[in-house]
Structure 1
Amino acid sequence: MDNLSAIILAGGKSSRMGQDKALIEIDGVPLLKRTYDAAKHCTDSIYVVTSWRDRYESILSDVNWIDESAPRSPIIAFTEAFQQVSTEWVLLLACDMPRLNGETLQELTAQLGESSIVVARSEEGWEPLCGFYRRDCLPSLQNYLASGKRSFQDWLNSENVQELELSDRQILFNCNTPTDLEQVD
C-alpha cells in the first residue's frame, strides 16, 4: 500500500525480560527483524523508534530510524514518530511479537475503511501495538498527551475504534518475560 507506513517500537527497557527483547532470537532471527520482515509484507516504508539504534543497525537494512533520547512510554514514542510520517495510514507494531506474520498483516489491511483507528483487542483490552492509525487521528492523540495523560487504553476508549477481526489471535502474543519466551513455539 502506497498510503501506509509501519512504525515499530523498539525503545523499551526490557526490564521484565532481563535482556534486550528486540535482539532475542527465535529460530535464529532476532525479534526486531521478525517484526520488520512481517511489516515488509504491507509496506516498504518502515520506521523503527529506539534509543539504541547502534544495537540494531546491523540486523536491519532499508529502514528509517527515529532516535529517542531515552526510552519513553509507547504512546509518546508513537506520537513523536507519527508526526514524522507522511502517509495516510500507519501500522503500529511492537518489536516483541514472535508469532506475528506478514501474510496475516497483509490480510488485515483489507479491513481499513472509514474508521480512523483499527486496532486488535484481547481479553485484557485494546492491543494498541498491533493496529492501524489514520493520519486524521493524530490531533486527538496530541491533545490527549497535551492534557498530561499517558494511557493508550484510555485514549483508545475515548475514540471511535474499529476492532481488527483476527483469524489467528496468536499473533498478539508478546514476549515480556523469560516465561513468555518459553511459550514460543
Structure 2
Amino acid sequence: MTTTLPLAAVVLAGGASRRMGRDKATLVFDGPDGPTTMVERVVSIVTARCAPVFVIAAPGQALPDLPAQIVRDEVRGVGPLLATGRGLREAAEAGLEHAFVCAVDMPELTTDLIETLTGPAERLGADVVLPWDGRDHYLAGIYRTALFTTVAELVAAGERSMRALVDSVDTQRIVMPEQRALTNVNTAADLELEAPPRLG
C-alpha cells in the first residue's frame, strides 16, 4: 500500500569497503539498463520515492554527477553511525521528519521495500523501522530525522555501531522473507551473483 509520508533518503557511500578492496560507490554494476555505478543505481532507486536525497561521502571521495546532495564526512573510516547522524541532520534541516537510510551496496533495492517499511513508520510512530529476515538490516530502514541528536550523544560516548542507536530508541522490526532487495554486495563474487542475465 502506497503511503504519502514525506521521506528523505540518506545513502551511505563513504565506507572503507575492506572486503571489496576498493570503493564500492563507483564500482560498475551491470544493471537492467546497462552498466552503471553502484551509487548511481541506488540513488536512482531511492529518488523514485524519496526527496531530498543525501549521499554521505568520504573526504575527497570521487563520485559521478548525481541528482542528490553530496555531504562529506568530516573524518574517514569511523563507521556508519556518524555518517547516518550527519545525513539525518541534513534531512531534519530540510524539514523532513523521516528518512530512509541505506548503504550504497544494495543494487537490488526496490521502492516496494521502502513502501513496506513506510506504512508501519507512519502508523506506529516508532523512531526506527527495520526489515528483519533473521537479522537486522540497519542500513535499509526508516529513521526519524530527529535522532541525529541521539547519534551525536552516542558518538560522544564512544559508540560507533548502528546497533547502539537501534537498541537505545523505539525500534520496530518488520518480519519479511530473505530477498534480493536486502542483499549487500561485499565481494566481487557477490557482484557477479547480483548481475541480472543479459538478453540478446
- Pairwise TM-score range, normalised by the shorter structure: 0.7 to 0.9
How far did 1:95 drift? Answer: 0.4
| Residue pairs, 1:81-92, within 5 angstroms | 81-86=87-92, 87-92=96-101
How far did 1:57 drift? Answer: 3.3
Q: 1:12 aligns to what SS in structure 2?
A: coil
TM-score, L = length of structure 2 = 0.80
**Cα distance change on mapping 1:54 and 1:13 into 2, 3 Å:** closer
Letter in structure 2 aligned against 1:45: P
2:38 equivalent to 1:31: yes
CA RMSD of aligned residues (A): 2.2
**Equivalent of 2:107 in 98, 105, 117:** 98
Q: 1:84 aligns to what SS in structure 2?
A: helix
What CA distance in whole angstroms lies between the structure 1 residues aligned with 2:149 and 2:111?
29
How far did 1:118 drift? Answer: 0.4
Which residue of 2 is the match for residue 70 of structure 1? Answer: 75
- Contact between 2:106 and 2:183, CA under 8 Å: does it hold in 1? yes
Q: Unaligned regions of 5+ residues in structure 1, if any? A: none
- Contact between 2:88 and 2:148, CA under 8 Å: does it hold in 1? yes
What CA distance in whole angstroms lies between the structure 2 residues aligned with 1:33 and 1:52?
19
**Equivalent of 1:12 in 10, 15, 22:** 15
| Residue pairs, 1:124-139, within 5 angstroms | 125-139=135-149
What CA distance in whole angstroms lies between the structure 1 residues aligned with 2:51 and 2:165?
29
Q: 1:153 aligns to what SS in structure 2?
A: helix
- Contact between 2:82 and 2:151, CA under 8 Å: does it hold in 1? no
TM-score, L = length of structure 1 = 0.86
| Residue pairs, 1:31-180, within 5 angstroms | 31-51=38-58, 55-58=62-65, 60-61=66-67, 63-71=68-76, 72-86=78-92, 87-112=96-121, 113=123, 114-123=125-134, 125-166=135-176, 169-180=179-190
How far did 1:175 drift? Answer: 0.7
Give % identity.
25
Which residue of 1 is the match for residue 198 of structure 2? Answer: none
- Contact between 1:115 and 1:162, CA under 8 Å: does it hold in 2? yes
How far did 1:174 drift? Answer: 0.4
Q: Unaligned regions of 5+ residues in structure 2, if any? A: 196-200
